[in-house]
């Protein structure tokens, strides 16, 4: 079985901007390349799981999302980082329009995207890690059976007493240096 690092996109990989879909607005978060390279070198398959409510709301199309996605993946490849797959949910149960207005198991906090990746790549969720910037990301990881779920503040105020996260850090770049991570990785 494979171990994976599951990553939310907006707020984890790139700076969060409302309903981001244009390349010129995309800014990688400082340290993301080094952190992903670190986990890749530790044998983790890198998987992105992202809600894309902007598609549901009609702010941009799936084609717009795919164009930005391909550009992002090329930037990772140029740094020697291979993303196994990007899973996304274009649905929203309340604010979606047309075929995109529905409740679905793939929209976080539901675990559908993670479980789909588990099946497709034969992933051991018990050995995997999830990094997100919202409690819905953490809940999706827990709902899927991931034991290490990390919440990055990425500029958000986080109530550490209320989160279900295993670990809270300021940014993705801080994760490899945390003693909790070193201990976890050395035990595997």
**27/103 Cα distance (integer angstroms):** 30
Radius of gyration of the chain (CA): 16
Is 170 an annotated catalytic residue?
A: no
The catalytic position among 10, 64, 159, 174 is 10
Catalytic annotation on 10?
yes
- What burial letters (b/e) apply to 75-100, b meaning 16+ CB within 10 Å? bbeeeebebbbbbbbbbbeeebeeeb
Residues 105 and 29: their CA atoms lie apart, in Å, by 28
Give the residue numbers annotated as catalytic, written as ranges. Answer: 8, 10
């Amino acid at each position: 079985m494979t171990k994976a690092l599951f990553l939310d996109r907006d707020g984890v990989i790139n700076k969060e901007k409302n309903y981001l879909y244009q390349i010129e607005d995309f800014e990688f978060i400082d340290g993301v390349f080094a952190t992903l390279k670190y986990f890749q070198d530790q044998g983790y398959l890198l998987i992105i799981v992202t809600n894309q409510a902007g598609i549901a709301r009609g702010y941009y199309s799936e084609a717009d999302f795919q164009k930005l996605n391909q550009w992002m993946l090329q930037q990772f490849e140029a740094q020697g980082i291979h993303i196994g797959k990007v899973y996304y949910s274009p649905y929203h149960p309340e604010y979606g329009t047309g075929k995109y207005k529905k409740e679905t198991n793939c929209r976080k906090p539901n675990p559908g995207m993670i479980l789909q990746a588990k099946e497709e790549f034969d992933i051991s969720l018990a050995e995997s890690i999830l990094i997100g910037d919202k409690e819905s990301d953490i809940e999706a990881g827990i709902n899927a059976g991931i034991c290490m779920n990390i919440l990055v503040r990425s500029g958000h105020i986080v109530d550490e007493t209320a989160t279900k996260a295993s670990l809270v850090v300021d940014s993705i770049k801080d994760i490899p240096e945390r003693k909790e991570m070193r201990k976890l990785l050395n035990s595997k």
